[in-house]
A = this chain, B = another copy of it.
Amino acid sequence: MAGSKYAYVRNFELPDPLLPGTFLVCRLDGHSFHRFSDEHGFSKPNDERALRVMDAAAQSVMEEYKDILLSFGESDEFSFLLRKSTQLYNRRHAKILTTLTSYFTSCYVFHWPKHFPDTPLRYPPSFDGRIVQYPSAREVRDYFAWRQVDTHINNLYNTTFWALVQQGGQSTTQAHATLKGTFSKQKHEILFSRFGINYNALPEQFKKGSVLVREIVQGKRDKKDSSRDTMAISLVHCDIIGDAFWDARPHLLVE
């Protein structure tokens, strides 16, 4: 073949298998979303439309890739858990990583108009991604706990910060100064005493992030493979730090 004298360049493509027997977590992060949220007029501290686009993109990814059992999103990031035994693309690192990142990005842009009917995209958003291998269920649970604790901390901060700015008339510099060194309890108090906001009564979506979980539909068999349960993806905004969520869904960490 005419191309054969050049085909040796393929030898520089090195194999990159991920370690078998490990849970894979793929985390995507918005690239320069501070600017992106400004340019597209996102509400502060939380923009429901923006969160819904993220959730919709993640849902599409899970519908396409059955080995993703769970995903968790907050702000401009989303983490996907692939089952320990997944053989997706023979566990090739770059292949899995780029396919998930690309498809999520594509879905984000594709779903955008539905959730932002009056705000056309001004430029194309992008996401970076990484895959982390976790050897055991304990580490997977701690990973998701880590992200949800982060959600909580960020949301409490941002909620108080924007209350100070939007309702309290502080500049953003002043608001940062007001919050510097404060503990959770003090932020709760600022919200309540100054602005009459009961943080605990705010929507779970903001405080807990978005959990998309593949649930077993009891009593139904899979259409294609009757030895399997039917699975369905649920979107919930619940605690994933404690045991309850995981105890109710042992299939997430078994294999």
Please measure, in the bound complex, the distance between the C-alpha atom of A106 and the C-alpha atom of B108, giving whole angstroms: 8
Any chain B CB within 8 A of the CB of A126? yes
CA distance A31 to B9 in the complex (A): 22
Cβ-defined partner of A130 (8 Å) among B98, B109, B139, B153: B98
Secondary structure of the A contact surface, majority rule: helix
Give Cα A131–Cα B94 distance, bound, in whole angstroms: 8
Q: Please indicate the chain B residues that have their CB under 8 angstroms from the CB of A110 in the complex.
A: 109, 121, 123-124
Chain A, 141-181, contact with B by CB distance < 8 Å: what is the 0/1 string? Answer: 01101100110110000000000000000000000000000
Query: Do the beta carbons of B99 and A128 come within 8 Å of each other?
Result: yes
Instruction: Tell me whether A37 is interfacial, beta carbon within 8 Å.
Output: no
CA distance A107 to B127 in the complex (A): 12
Closest 8 CB pairs of A and B: A6-B146, A106-B124, A135-B135, A98-B129, A3-B149, A103-B126, A110-B124, A109-B109
Answer yes or no: A44 CB below 8 A from chain B CBs. Answer: no
Would you list which residues of chain A between 1 and 36 have a CB under 8 Å from chain B? Answer: 1-3, 6-15, 17, 19-22, 28, 31
Residue of B nearest to A108 (CB): B106
Inter-subunit contact A135/B105 (CB<8 Å): no
Is the beta-carbon distance between B12 and A19 smaller than 8 angstroms?
yes
Shortest C-beta distance, A76 to chain B (Å), equals 12
Q: Which residue of B lies closest to A142 (CB)?
A: B6
Closest to A110 in B: B124
A46 at the interface (CB under 8 A from B): no
**Nearest Cβ on chain B to A80's Cβ, whole angstroms:** 13
16 CB < 8 A contacts A-B: A2-B153, A6-B149, A7-B146, A10-B146, A12-B19, A21-B134, A94-B97, A95-B130, A98-B128, A98-B129, A101-B102, A103-B126, A106-B109, A107-B124, A109-B109, A135-B135
